[in-house]
Structure 1
Amino acid sequence: MSVDKIFPATKAVIVPGNGGGSVEYCNWYGWTRKALNKIPNFQCYLRDMPDPMTARESIWLPFMESELQCDERTVIIGHSSGAAAAMRYAETHKVYAIILVSAYTSDLGDDNERESGYFNRSWQWEKIKSNCKHIIQFGSTDDPFLPWSEQQEVVDKLGAVLHKYQDRGHFQNTQFHELVSAVQDLLQESQ
């Protein structure tokens, strides 16, 4: 019996990007939570994060562990800063999958990003891969905040299944059908 059969995914946790207000009404987060909660025997969680402006790793990762209870049955859906948090979390925790939306690898020369703590050391790509059964990435070449080279680096280093677009910017739309489909596909694989 495979590990996937022993530990199927039972929940998703949406980890938002930094800088937003109430995440329920920000971007596609609330819409996606509602769509995923329609899946039988599956639950999607979305919570306002502590320290929402800087998104410090030292605050977000313990919150993901203790409050959101991300574990080997969890699909972590991380957007922007949330994607950085998902990758750092997966360096030291087993999770069912990470779905990275607008992922990047450096502080982009930004003081707030530098202060978050995610980019002050090398990424542990092999540990991330060994702690995740599945890695999916959504990226867009016209992202106004992230160079494509950094998004491509994440794909290359993690061997992520890439959903590449030219017209989605930073994925700040209000619905995200392709993401819901990606989660549904993962769940079908785990049955």
Structure 2
Amino acid sequence: MSPKKVVIVPGNGAGDVEHCNWYGWVNKQINKIPGVSCQLKNMPDPVVARENIWLPFMEKDLQCDEETVIIGHSSGAAAAMRYAETHKVLAIVLVSAYTSDLGDENERSSGYFSRPWEWEKIIANANHIVQFGSTDDPFLPWQEQQEVADGLNADLHKYSDRGHFQNTHFPEVISAVQKILTG
């Protein structure tokens, strides 16, 4: 049996993803799980995070498929949702997910927010949908995070003290991945 696969898709502007936020720590922890392989790579076009660059990279370079758990943070969550509209995946774990360009030119340029979200397609293509959000996120209004949870009927983990989830450790996401992989 092939190993289970987890891919971390970072937020835009992350720089060297291995040393940014919780990405490197989560990557190391998941790779300690027997029979599980986790990938974390610097993304092309890391600042604008254009959909037409990131989605092909997720398919060809990260090889996201029906056996993959995609952990997406911020812009990476938008990428994971758009990817799941057209590709079957094992699961998407969304961290700081949102639904609009927030009036930001860079977000508008990414392309993720140029059309309505296809919630039903995402639900049909992802066996599990877990979402982490915080009401004190300085960048994302809670209303948009709730809209994602409602649209996807996500298993929502709602916090009031985690901001944009830019901490260096994130044990809750490890637990969520383990639950998906053993469920």
Moved segments of 4+, more than 6 Å: none
RMSD: 1.1
1:82 equivalent to 2:76? Answer yes
Q: 2:107 aligns with which of 98, 105, 113?
A: 113
In the alignment, which residue of structure 2 is the partner of 1:4? none
Give the share of equivalent positions with the same residue, in percent: 73
Native 8 Å contact 1:139 1:162 kept in 2: yes
Distance (whole Å) between structure 2 residues aligned to residue 9 and residue 76 of structure 1: 15
CA drift of 1:20 comes to: 1.5
1:147 equivalent to 2:147? Answer no
CA drift of 1:62 comes to: 0.1
Count of paired positions? 183
In the alignment, which residue of structure 2 is the partner of 1:43? 37
Q: Return the letter of the residue paired with 1:86.
A: A
Distance (whole Å) between structure 1 residues aligned to residue 2 and residue 73 of structure 2: 23
Structure 2: stretches of 5+ with no match in the other structure: none
Aligned-partner SS, 1:134: strand
**TM-score scaled to structure 1, two decimals?**
0.94
Distance (whole Å) between structure 2 residues aligned to residue 131 and residue 21 of structure 1: 30
Per-residue CA deviation, residues 57-96 of structure 1 (Å, 9 max, x unaligned), is 0000000000000000000000000000000000000000
Matches within 5 A, 1:58-77: 58-77=52-71
Aligned-partner SS, 1:70: coil
Distance (whole Å) between structure 1 residues aligned to residue 56 and residue 67 of structure 2: 18
In the alignment, which residue of structure 1 is the partner of 2:48? 54
Matches within 5 A, 1:170-185: 170-185=164-179
**TM-score scaled to structure 2, two decimals?**
0.98
CA drift of 1:9 comes to: 7.4
Aligned-partner SS, 1:11: strand
Per-residue CA deviation, residues 10-31 of structure 1 (Å, 9 max, x unaligned), is 1100000001110000000000
Structure 1: stretches of 5+ with no match in the other structure: 1-6
Distance (whole Å) between structure 2 residues aligned to residue 9 and residue 153 of structure 1: 33
Distance (whole Å) between structure 1 residues aligned to residue 112 and residue 22 of structure 2: 24
Matches within 5 A, 1:13-52: 13-52=7-46
Native 8 Å contact 2:95 2:132 kept in 1: yes
